[in-house]
Amino acid sequence: MTLSQTPTADQLRNRLVDEILSQRSVPADVERVMRTVPRDAFLPGIELEDAYTDQAVIIKDNPDGPLALSCASVPSVVAMMLEQLGAQAGDNVLEIGAGTGYNAALLAELVGPEKVTTVDIDSDVALHARTTLNAAGYDRVTVIERNGLLGAIENAPYDKIIAAVGVWDIPAAWWNQLKDGGRLVLPLRWRGQTRSVALIRRGNELVSEGMELCGFVPIIGQNGEKTSALNADDAIRVHYDQDQDIDADALADTLQSGEPALEVASDQRVGGEESFDGVWLRATASDDRVCRLEVTPRALEQELVRRPATPIRTPVLVEGGSLAYLTASREGADPERPFRLGAAAYGPRREELARDLIAHIEAWGPDRLVIPRMIVTPTETGATAGHVIRKPESHITLAY
C-alpha cells in the first residue's frame, strides 16, 4: 500500500462507526460524537489501525491477576452504553472508571465538558485520562483520583451516572449522589454473568429499562465474587457469589471419581451465531444455585469433563457435591439451528439438577429475547416481592 492509499484517522473512525451501525441501531447524537472524538488521541503509542478496531485495548496490566487493571472498552459496547444512558445537553454526569479518557470526551460532546466528572482509583490511569483529555481539548472535564465506590460528592447530585467497570454491588454513595428520576448505567455482575443494566431511580428503587450482555474489568474494592478450583491442577473452576453455599471439596471429589456424566438433551436448538446466554439470565430470576463454570483447554484436552457449551463461561447449577451445566451438541441436519442445548450432570443429585437446568432451557426457548424486570433497593429499605438476590448494600429482584 502506498502512502497515498493509507487511510486517515477520520476515514478509519468513520469506517468503525459504519461497522457498529451495521450491527445495531445507534441514536443520532451517539453516532455524531463517535464520529467526532478521535479515539487514537486517547491511545498514544497504539497503531492507528488498532485504535479503530472494535476491540478493547489494555492500557495498564494488573500485576495481581489475569484481568487488566484498566483498558479502553470495545467501541460497540461504548456506543451501546451511551444509548442506554441517554445523556442530553446540560445533564450533570458522573463516570466511574476514567480509563483512557475517551468515554469522558464522548460524554463531554453530549452534555458539555463542564458537566462531566470522571473518577479512577489508580493514579497512573487518572493521570493518563487527565493528560489525554487536556491534549484533545477537553480540559474542562473534571478528573478525580479516588476510589470509584465513593463517587464524587463535589459535583453531585447527578442526572446520570455511568460505570465503565464491572460492579458487583451498588454502593450507597451512588444512590445518594443520583437525583430522583436520574439514570444509572452499569455493568452489573450477579451469579457469574455481567449485564449492562440501565436503571432509573424512583425514590428508594432503581427500576430497569433494559439490559445487554457485556464484559468489563471488575471494580477494585468489591470482593463478593469467589472462585474455587475443582481439581488439583486448577483446570476446572467454579465462580460464585458470597451468599451461595459452595462445597468445592465435595464437587472436586465428584469430578475426580471417574463417573461419566449424565447427559440430557432439551428440545431447544440454536444457530452457530445465536446467543443462548438468555438461559443463564432466566435461571438467575428463580434459582439461587446458578454459578459460572470455567473449564480450561487443559481440562478439555485431558477429557476431565464433558465439554461445556462455552468452556470459559458456562452456567452451572451447583448443590452439595453435584452439578449440572449447559452443553451444546451438533445434532441433526437443520442448517439454521444445528446445535441442540442440553445438560451434563455429575454427582448424587445429577438427575434432579439436570432436570432443573433443562426446565430453565425450555422456559427460555419460546421467547428468547425477553429480559426480566429488575428492581434494586438499598438493603436498609428491604426488598420488593419476588425472587431476591441479597448483597451487602443492595437487594436485586428479578421477575419475568
- Which residues does the annotation mark as catalytic? 73
| CA distances from residue 31 to 13, 116, 370 in whole angstroms, order as listed | 11, 19, 26
**What is the CB-side half-sphere exposure of residue 202 using CA atoms within 13 A?**
11
How far, in Å, CA of 363 to CA of 367, rounded?
Answer: 8
How far, in Å, CA of 227 to CA of 166, rounded?
Answer: 16
Q: Which of 227, 232, 247 has the alpha carbon at shortest distance from 298?
A: 232
How far, in Å, CA of 188 to CA of 196, rounded?
Answer: 6
Strand partners, 262: 345
Q: Are 127 and 71 in contact (CB under 8 A)?
A: no
| Three-state DSSP state, 34 | helix
How far, in Å, CA of 68 to CA of 62, rounded?
Answer: 5
**What is the CB-side half-sphere exposure of residue 360 using CA atoms within 13 A?**
28
How far, in Å, CA of 362 to CA of 358, rounded?
Answer: 6
Beta strands 236-241 and 290-295: pairing type? Answer: antiparallel
Contacts of 11 (CB under 8 A, 6+ apart): none
Beta strands 116-120 and 142-145: pairing type? Answer: parallel
**Start-to-end C-alpha separation, the chain:** 54
Q: How many CB atoms lie within 10 A of CB 197?
A: 25
Q: Which of 63, 69, 74, 127 has the alpha carbon at shortest distance from 101?
A: 127
Run of H or E residues at 130: helix 123-135
Question: 14 phi and psi, to 5 degrees?
Answer: -65, -35
Helix (H), strand (E), coil (C) string for 92-109: CEEEECCCCCHHHHHHHH
